[in-house]
Structure 1
Amino acid sequence: MTTKATRAVGVDIGGTGIKGALVDLEAGVLLSDRVKVPTPKGAEPDDVLKAVRTVLDTLGVTDADIPLGVAFPAIVKHGRTLSAANVADTWIGFEAEKFFEDGLGREIHFANDADVAGLAEARYGAARGVDGLVLLTTLGTGIGTAMLHNGVLIPNAELGHLPRADKSTDFEAWAAYSAVEREELSWPKWAKRLQSYYSTLEFLLSPDLFIVGGGVSKHSDQFLPLLDLQTPIVPAVHRNNAGIIGAAALGLAHETGTEAEDAARDIVGTTD
Structure 2
Amino acid sequence: MQHILAIDVGGSHVKGTILNEQGEWQIEYKRLPTPTQARPSEVIGLIKELAQGMPAYDKVSVGFPGYVRNGIVYTAPNLGKGYWSKIHLGQQIADALRKPVRLVNDADQLGLGVVSGEGYEMAVTLGTGIGTALLINGYLLPHLELAHMPVRKDKDWDAFLGAGALEKVGKEKWNRRVQHLIDSLQVVFNYDRLYLGGGNTDKLTLKLDSNVHLFTNQDGIKGGARLWQLEDGYHISTNRPA
Q: Which band: TM-score by shorter chain?
A: 0.7 to 0.9
Normalising by structure 1, what TM-score? Answer: 0.78
Q: Distance in 2 between matches of 1:183 and 1:206?
A: 31
What SS is found at the alignment partner of 2:140?
strand
Shift of 1:268: 7.3
Residue 206 to residue 265, structure 1, CA distance change in 2 (3 Å): closer
Matched, 1:241 2:218: yes
Q: Distance in 2 between matches of 1:160 and 1:101?
A: 28
What SS is found at the alignment partner of 1:87?
coil
Equivalent positions of 1:24-173 (< 5 A) are 24-26=20-22, 28-57=23-52, 59-61=53-55, 63=56, 65-88=57-80, 89-121=82-114, 127-131=115-119, 133-165=120-152, 167-173=153-159
Contact 1:71 / 1:243 at 8 angstroms: preserved in 2? no
Matched, 1:269 2:234: yes
Higher helix share: 1
What SS is found at the alignment partner of 2:75?
coil
RMSD: 2.2
Shift of 1:266: 4.4
Q: Distance in 2 between matches of 1:48 and 1:249?
A: 23
Residue 267 to residue 36, structure 1, CA distance change in 2 (3 Å): farther
Matched, 1:185 2:179: no
Contact 2:67 / 2:105 at 8 angstroms: preserved in 1? yes
Residue 155 to residue 248, structure 1, CA distance change in 2 (3 Å): same
For 2:43, the aligned partner's letter is V
Q: Distance in 2 between matches of 1:201 and 1:214?
A: 17
Aligned residues: 236
What SS is found at the alignment partner of 1:30?
coil
Q: Distance in 1 between matches of 2:159 and 2:90?
A: 27
Q: Distance in 2 between matches of 1:169 and 1:196?
A: 14
Unaligned runs of 5+ in 2: 238-242
Shift of 1:110: 1.3
Residue 68 to residue 152, structure 1, CA distance change in 2 (3 Å): closer
Contact 1:114 / 1:146 at 8 angstroms: preserved in 2? yes
Could you report, residue by residue, the CA deviation over 1:66-114 in whole angstroms, capped at 9, with x for unpaired residues? Answer: 3221111111111111112212222211111111122233322211111
Shift of 1:178: 4.2
For 2:213, the aligned partner's letter is V
Q: Distance in 1 between matches of 2:25 and 2:159?
A: 31
What SS is found at the alignment partner of 2:221?
helix
Contact 1:139 / 1:176 at 8 angstroms: preserved in 2? yes
Shift of 1:170: 0.4
Shift of 1:13: 0.5
Higher strand share: 2
> Identity of paired residues, percent?
29
Q: Which residue of 1 aligns with 2:11?
A: 15
For 2:41, the aligned partner's letter is D
Shift of 1:234: 1.0
Unaligned runs of 5+ in 1: 122-126, 254-263
What SS is found at the alignment partner of 2:17?
strand
Contact 1:19 / 1:244 at 8 angstroms: preserved in 2? no
Q: Distance in 2 between matches of 1:102 and 1:68?
A: 12
Contact 1:212 / 1:233 at 8 angstroms: preserved in 2? yes
Could you report, residue by residue, the CA deviation over 1:37-57 in whole angstroms, capped at 9, with x for unpaired residues? Answer: 011221101111111111111
Q: Distance in 2 between matches of 1:194 and 1:11?
A: 27
Residue 233 to residue 267, structure 1, CA distance change in 2 (3 Å): farther
